[in-house]
Amino acid sequence: MKQKFYVTTAIDYVNAEPHIGHAYQKIVADVLARWNKLNGKDVLFVTGTDEHGKKVEDATKETGKAPQEFVDEVSEKFKEAWKSLNINYDRFIRTTDKDHKKIVTEFIKKCEANDDIYLGKYSGFYCTGCEAYYTEKDCPDLICPHHKRPLEKIEEETYFFRLSKYQKFLLDYYKKHPEFILPKSRKNEIVNRVKEGLKDLSITRTSFDWGIPFPLDKKHVTYVWFDALINYYTATREKGREDFWGKPTVHLLGKDNAWFHTVYWPAMLKSAGIELPKTIFNHGFLSFNGEKISKSLRNAISPITLVEKYGADSVRYFCLRQFPFATGDDGDFNETALINRHNDELANKLGNLVSRTSALAEKYGIEKSAYHGQKKSTICEDTSNSLLKQLKLNKIEKLINNYELDKALNEIFAFIGICNEFVQSKKPWETHDRKVLYQLVESIREVAKLLYPFIPESAEKISEVFKTDDIKKAPILFKKI
């Protein structure tokens, strides 16, 4: 049996079209999925759209379209955006999918059987943009901290989930499983808030009806977060995918979603008697050219537009190399910085190495030494190739497994630099040394494998050029911008 690896992203609200902030997370998830597949694991990668709730219902009113027609159209735009970036997911889940509605209904009944759902009345301050309630302690000025808009006072009959019952369970779980909330800085924030106490969670609405009917009372619809979180579990109920739940699972999410996923979600799963995921990773936000991404500023630039300007691999590379994902810090998607990295690192360093090595190999040929050909691992050969020995494979593997993708790319490109220096020092255009050229070719083959999760289109082109010993000069990989 192959090892399992399950990676998910947040499912995005369909009240607006996709932008580069949404794309960042999906690119990282795609890298992790491709990397684990490359290492022989059985991988499930799920992304999708969150299509219920008041925010979506309000957005449909602005267009004059029926809710289902509206969400169908916007959901397709997310699929198109991820296709343009070569995001190779296994399932695009939508919360309007029939199987999801069925699983949500079953999930709620499991929580009710555990005596964790009861009817009551709720009065509180609500932000439709967040689809969340806030206390006066959270927002003394009654302004949403994320959307900077006044909170709305709402009073209604609602069903509650006994979240308060799970305070001790959560604190104990965080302590026993330090990898559950990453990065550590987010964990500290969550632990401190949970220690202050938990209030029971309102999980139904009666003020609108665009949502999954609540199975215990059809006058109510299920609260969007109680519905949406269950998508990760729904995707593993498909035939043949049941074994993925409970295996190494990583939920990738923006830091604004941390509370929902590290408090509501594990409590819900515990109530329903379902195993918890391994890791909830809460990353930082991206701004765009120094400004917060928002519809009002009209800078929510489409990933498709960026791909048309710079190419999918350049956009992917910049997101992964520029921002330290593992720290959870925010970053700025700056087009000038992207152009500089494209020209200096992709075109000059990688592109130039591939171009001149392939040209020299075509002209003079390559020759194996006696030590070549005994493959010892999935990624890299155990070889006495003096050049390839300088590739720090173990370090790169460790960095990727620790989500330090920017540092992993730094190591790979450090080796590309070593290869370029090797060409300069050995001067095969003068010596015509075919063994030197073979060392370069073999090294580039390994670089292509390592780069495949990050820049798959370019890595495949490199692999195609060097797949046999009969090498022809490579076409230009990266044109200068």
339, 297 Cβ separation under 8 angstroms: no
Of the candidates 412, 402, 398, the residue with the CA atom closest to the CA atom of residue 321: 412
Of the residues 4, 52, 54, 127, only one is catalytic, namely 127
Q: What is the pLDDT of residues 153-210, one digit of tens each?
A: 777 899 999 999 999 999 999 999 999 999 999 999 999 999 999 999 999 999 888 9
Of the residues 111, 130, 319, 419, only one is catalytic, namely 130
Of the residues 147, 219, 389, 479, only one is catalytic, namely 147
Q: Cα 287 from chain centroid?
A: 17
Q: Which CATH number is 335-465's, of 1.10.569.10, 3.40.50.1820, 3.30.1780.10, 1.10.730.10?
A: 1.10.730.10
Of the residues 22, 55, 100, 255, only one is catalytic, namely 22
Burial of 105 (0-12, 13-18, 19+ CB in 10 A): middle
Indicate the domain borders of the chain: 4-283, 335-465
Asked if the domains 4-283 and 335-465 are classified in one and the same CATH topology, the answer is: no
251 is catalytic: no
Of the residues 26, 101, 144, 342, only one is catalytic, namely 144
Q: Give me the architecture of the 4-283 domain, per CATH.
A: 3-Layer(aba) Sandwich (3.40)
**DSSP character at residue 213:** B
Q: What is the pLDDT of residues 295-334, one digit of tens each?
A: 555 556 889 999 999 999 999 999 999 999 999 999 999 9
432 is catalytic: no
261 is catalytic: no
Of the candidates 385, 365, 363, the residue with the CA atom closest to the CA atom of residue 374: 385
130 is catalytic: yes
Query: Phi and psi for 316 in degrees, rounded to 5?
Result: -60, -50
Report pTM: 0.91
Taking residues 235-245, what's their average pLDDT?
95
111 is catalytic: no
Of the residues 61, 153, 177, 295, only one is catalytic, namely 295
144 is catalytic: yes
Query: Phi and psi for 412 in degrees, rounded to 5?
Result: -65, -45
**From CA 480, how far away is CA 226, in angstroms rounded?**
48
Of the residues 121, 219, 292, 472, only one is catalytic, namely 292
**From CA 302, how far away is CA 431, in angstroms rounded?**
50
pLDDT exceeds 50 at position 47: yes
